[in-house]
Structure 1
């Protein structure tokens, strides 16, 4: 219990750590660096999904739960995307006044964090703290640039830096709740562990291919973003082997 609480909290609060940068930001970060950062986190999540979550799911339940869980993760993320507005943080307009629509976008970002929290909680439910720590670390690394981009978006809406930081940090807090839900559900209903791990992988793969990779290629920096993606994979492979 202590491990999942600490892991989900740290991975969620990484959103605030990324948002903290805006308090010291004097100018705008270039699209090139933002794209490379997004691609790097995509590589980390890809390696975590393919080399940790899916193999653990197969070991826990076999191929059928993997297939069902993966597809369910994709279906749930697809439904969520249709129900809430798409968020184009890097390429959206920056001259809009803050209004209820902007707050709706913040709410959408918060909802998008639910599957990430589930990924962490389900990973700890497997009973292997190393796997849980690894996934929590991967999600945390993904959350940091997300928090930065959310805070930057709010600043572009003419919001004060500190208020933008607080709101961006709050968007990640829901991961603590969803992480604990995923942990308790799969802990007390053991056959769900394999499905839960695959669900988490499916959700992460959807986010990678649907959101992170297209965003990282939106400004003509495909080659450095590709290199950054590969470095992210290698970075996570080293972590997995180290654990």
Structure 2
């Protein structure tokens, strides 16, 4: 219980770690660097899902639960995307006032963190103890550039650096709650672990292909983003190899 709590806290607070950068920079980072960070995060999450979550789900439940869980994860993210407005923070060059629309954007970003928290929680419920740490690390890598991008967006809306940092950090806090929820569900409902792991993998794959990869290719930086994706994938494979 202690491990899953601190794992979820560190993963969630990685959003704030990324946002912390805005307190020390004098101007916004380039689209090129934003795309590189997103692509690197996508590579990290791809390794975590395909090398970490999916093999563990197959080991604990077989192909049936894996298929059902992945489909449920994709379905859940599809429903969320249809009902939660998606705002392109990286490529929106027109400023807007910090009004109802900006609040809607912050709410949407917060809600999109729900499946990431669930991914961490169900991973800690696995019999393979290192799986939870690996997924928490992968989600943390993804949260850091996301926190930076949210903070930069708020900064462009004439919000102070400190307030932008605090708000961006809070958008990731919901992951702590959903992580604990995912852990308790898969721990106390017998046979749910492989479904939970597969659900997390499906949700992560959806985020990678639908969100991170397209976002990282939005400003003509396809080649460098591809390199960053491959580097992120290899870094996470190396980390998994060390833990296993």
Q: Report the TM-score, using the length of structure 2 for normalisation.
A: 0.98
- Cα deviation for residue 211 of structure 1 reads 0.4
Following the alignment from structure 2 to structure 1, what is the Cα–Cα distance between the partners of residues 93 and 29? 16
* CA-to-aligned-CA distance 1:10-65 (integer Å, 9 cap, x gap): 00000000000111110120111110110000000000000010000011101011
- Cα deviation for residue 118 of structure 1 reads 0.3
Following the alignment from structure 2 to structure 1, what is the Cα–Cα distance between the partners of residues 94 and 164? 14
Q: In the alignment, what sits opposite 2:160?
A: 160
Q: In the alignment, what sits opposite 1:5?
A: 5
- Structure 1 residue 109 corresponds to structure 2 residue 144: no
Following the alignment from structure 2 to structure 1, what is the Cα–Cα distance between the partners of residues 103 and 94? 15
Q: In the alignment, what sits opposite 1:208?
A: 208
Alpha-carbon contact 1:94-1:157 (below 8 Å) kept: no
- Stretches of structure 1 lacking an aligned partner (at least 5 in a row): none
- Stretches of structure 2 lacking an aligned partner (at least 5 in a row): none
Q: In the alignment, what sits opposite 1:83?
A: 83
* CA-to-aligned-CA distance 1:217-238 (integer Å, 9 cap, x gap): 0000000000000000000010
In structure 2, the residue corresponding to 1:26 is in which secondary structure? Answer: coil
- Structure 1 residue 35 corresponds to structure 2 residue 35: yes
Matches within 5 A, 1:21-170: 21-170=21-170
Following the alignment from structure 1 to structure 2, what is the Cα–Cα distance between the partners of residues 139 and 201? 12
- Cα deviation for residue 129 of structure 1 reads 2.5
In structure 2, the residue corresponding to 1:197 is in which secondary structure? Answer: helix
Q: In the alignment, what sits opposite 2:241?
A: 241
User: Please, what is the CA RMSD of the aligned residues?
Assistant: 0.7
Following the alignment from structure 2 to structure 1, what is the Cα–Cα distance between the partners of residues 111 and 155? 21
- Alignment length, in residue pairs? 243
Question: Deviating runs (4+, > 4 A) in structure 1?
Answer: none
Following the alignment from structure 2 to structure 1, what is the Cα–Cα distance between the partners of residues 95 and 45? 32
